[in-house]
Amino acid sequence: MRKFAAIRLLLVATLCAADAQSDELRLSSPADWQTWTIPKGTLEIADDGSISLAWMRRNINAVADAAEFSHSEGKKQVFGGIRAVNSNPQDAANIIDQDPSTWWQPSADDPLEDWWIEIDLGRPVLARKLRLVFPDSLDAKPFRNFTTYISNGVDTRYGVTYHPVAVTTTPNVERVFEVDLKRIEIGVASGEHLIEQDTLDFNLVHHVRLVPSEKNPGAALAEIEVDALGDNLAIGTVERGGSVRAGRSEDKVGMIFDGDVNTNWRLAVGGDQAKEGNLRTYVEDGDWFEWDLGATFWVDHLSHIDLAVGDGEGSRGSHGYGAKLFILTTSDGTPASGLTSDRIRSNFDYQELSDVFNDRFPTQQSYHFAFPLRKIRHIFYHRSGIPMRLQIRQTVFEYILHGEGHVAATEMISDFIDLGSMKSVRKLSWDADLPAGTQIEIRSQTGNTFELQKKYYHKNGTELDSARFGKLPKSVRGRIDTLKLKGPDWSGWSQPYDFPEEAFLSPTPRQFLQLQIQLANDDPQLTPVLRSLTLEFDDPLVSGGITARILPREVGLDSLQRFTYLLQPTFARNDQGFDEVFIQVPGAVQEVGVRVGGQSVQPREVELADRLLRVGLPERVRGDSVEVLFTAQVTANATLFEAWAGDSQQNVRQGVEPLAPRSMIVFVPDVAGENLLRNVQVTPVVTPNDDGVNDEAQIDFIVVQVEGNPNVDIYDLTGSHLRTLNLGTAGFAWDGRDDAGAALPPGVYICRIQIEADSGDQSVYRIISLAY
């Protein structure tokens, strides 16, 4: 496991006057971000407070950060660094300090058998090269004859086993001595992206040992370097907030990414019943896992490491055999479209990485996959069959993931921000650099009350209830968090903010708020940079809040309905009040009227833009209720009519709350039918001769309870596609031309209206006659 510094410190934010009416909370320094929950290692916070996606490295010296990693050795947890040395131990750390001007020099008085040294990388790495750097000065010279050993770190009953990778055959006089590391992977496995060559140009390395075979005057060693493929993205999963779940041995499956080759996860592979011919599926046996990395990374190399008896470097006891038949799929976290019948795998859009077949002799133990860079947040593994040569104890020891570039996506969440008292938040703004192909998405939520709750975790990051946690051995118990949870009055996360200085989207006034920021890219070489974030807030327009209700609550489909929207404010003595009302409506509205305190008044102005109805009141309201009346058509069941009260002079809005549960929602029972396209009306004859009569075919219809726009296309009678129509301000219309703009000849054409839904696609066809 990797050591990480804690980042939960006291929030320090700049609070100042934004103007005469409002205050400002500005987040722009490193201290301002320190209470935010950030997946460890995925973001970089610069000295000026700017935030960007961290860079994942390829081709690293694994010695440089060995002290940041730990693993089990016997019954102890040890960190990387100098593992053992007999002669001159006080200078041993010089060989891992990245400074070639310092060195370790064994004492000339010690016997040759004490002239050896070992380092521990803290975790297993896939390395291509081992490099010894010697000093060359009057009193320090390279070792002349020696043997270099490596170990994969498996701790047997006899300890760690080393095997030689380089032996000098002639006296060394070079200041830099390099060893190419290779691994022979015996086996005939096959699968997409699987590296199938027998000799790999890398090897699994956990420890390095140097043993001189002669004492030469002034012999010294300045540095040991291990060229690894890159940062192992698997390590740190739990610390980033990721987790893994599995069909069996869920308390051990997290060992596949713990950076420790002395732990493993075992598969059932049919269990004892398979021996009797009763073959079971991977679901029945639980031979699957789903792994959330805690952030999205660009990955192009994945290694599935199994270590068995006879691996050449030893193993503790009988670990069994590697997996033989399995499928790996990955997802960047995008939800799957439509419905899924998979009750095991989460509803993400998974793409197959490889379908591995390894049921021929000699069987392969480990698998290394190389593929074009892809975004990976989730990995799903499952056994795909029962091997012909049934071996019950199949194991997975470790996964190693590599890539290069900025993290693909991660999110940071603020602590609960206390505004000091009930405040009305005006707007949220930010300053950022957004190269093409990068994104920053910001959401907010607000509330007033909290509840405390304890959460219990397994060592692998899986959340447990208190009873299951209490039954776990202490060795696999994880952390216990006492959480300050949102009370029942908290809103959910808002829609993403579209642009800086946008009006605040969460309910307000509130005393507390929370922010969520996601940084992402579509190119690993690019990152967005967030420089600051600012909230403007002031005293609420109505201190006691505003409740709302719409009537009627239930309407018929496809008909215009007269609605009354009531806003009931609770004023205090010095409240500013409001002079305009905003209501989110499903479409066009007609006949807008206003009542203040039950008396009809003439609205100052009425405006509808992007389905937001704005009604200006003739006078500022400081003590009465307000009713807005309008006629509209509702086509989706459970339509929410959100609303805000506003101050036109200060450009301030205050959200409203339901007067009673669901009192701002209108229901349409008729929507329950299967027909999603209704009231289709298409102009039957088009005469595009610019006389103002039937120059275009108007295509009108109602789409019921489906998100997104329908597709409207024109075809000739042979079925050839001629035109795709775009939604205009007046709906869909066809002017008798094709996609290239050419006028089509007179004749009969087919208009197809299609809508896509989870329940399936639906289409409606109409005939249009074209004449001149």
Report all structural domains of the chain as residue ranges with CATH numbers, in order of start: 61-230 (2.60.120.260), 243-406 (2.60.120.260), 414-449+487-537 (no CATH), 546-671 (2.60.40.740), 677-770 (2.60.40)
Q: Above pLDDT 90, what percent of the chain?
A: 57
Residues 183 and 198 sit within 8 Å (Cβ to Cβ)? no
pLDDT of amino acid 308: 57
Is residue 106 classed as helix, strand or coil in its secondary structure? coil
Closest listed residue to residue 639, CA positions, set 571, 705, 541, 718: 705
Most confidently modeled range among 204-208, 390-394, 421-425: 204-208
Inter-CA distances, 425 with 383, 404, 496, 507, 512, Å: 53, 41, 16, 9, 10
pTM: 0.75
CA–CA separation, 688 and 726 (whole Å): 18
pLDDT of amino acid 7: 28
pLDDT of amino acid 424: 85
Q: Where does 336-475 show beta strands of DSSP type E? A: 351-357, 367-383, 394-396, 398-402, 405-406, 409-413, 417-433, 438-447, 450-458, 463-464
Residues 645 and 579 sit within 8 Å (Cβ to Cβ)? no
pLDDT of amino acid 317: 35
Q: Tell the burial category of 643 from Cβ atoms under 10 Å away from its Cβ (0-12, 13-18, 19+).
A: buried
CA–CA separation, 159 and 73 (whole Å): 9
Confidence of residue 757 (pLDDT cuts 50, 70, 90): low
CA–CA separation, 298 and 523 (whole Å): 9
Closest listed residue to residue 248, CA positions, set 71, 455, 395, 467: 395
pLDDT of amino acid 1: 36
Per-residue pLDDT tens digits for 558-589: 678 999 999 999 998 889 999 999 999 998 99
Q: Are strands 70-73 and 398-402 parallel, antiparallel or unpaired?
A: unpaired
Is it the case that residue 99 has pLDDT exceeding 50? yes
Overall average pLDDT of the 145-170 stretch: 91
pLDDT of amino acid 23: 87
Work out the number of other CB atoms within 10 angstroms of the CB of residue 36: 20
Overall average pLDDT of the 675-690 stretch: 83
Provide the mean pLDDT of the chain: 87
pLDDT of amino acid 243: 93
Question: Which tops the pLDDT comparison, 44 or 391?
Answer: 44
* 679 CA to centre of own chain: 42
Tokens 């029962």 belong to 386
First to last CA, the chain: 77
Of 307-321, 416-430, 469-483, 602-616, the poorest mean pLDDT is in: 307-321
Overall average pLDDT of the 701-708 stretch: 66
Per-residue pLDDT tens digits for 123-138: 999 999 999 999 988 8
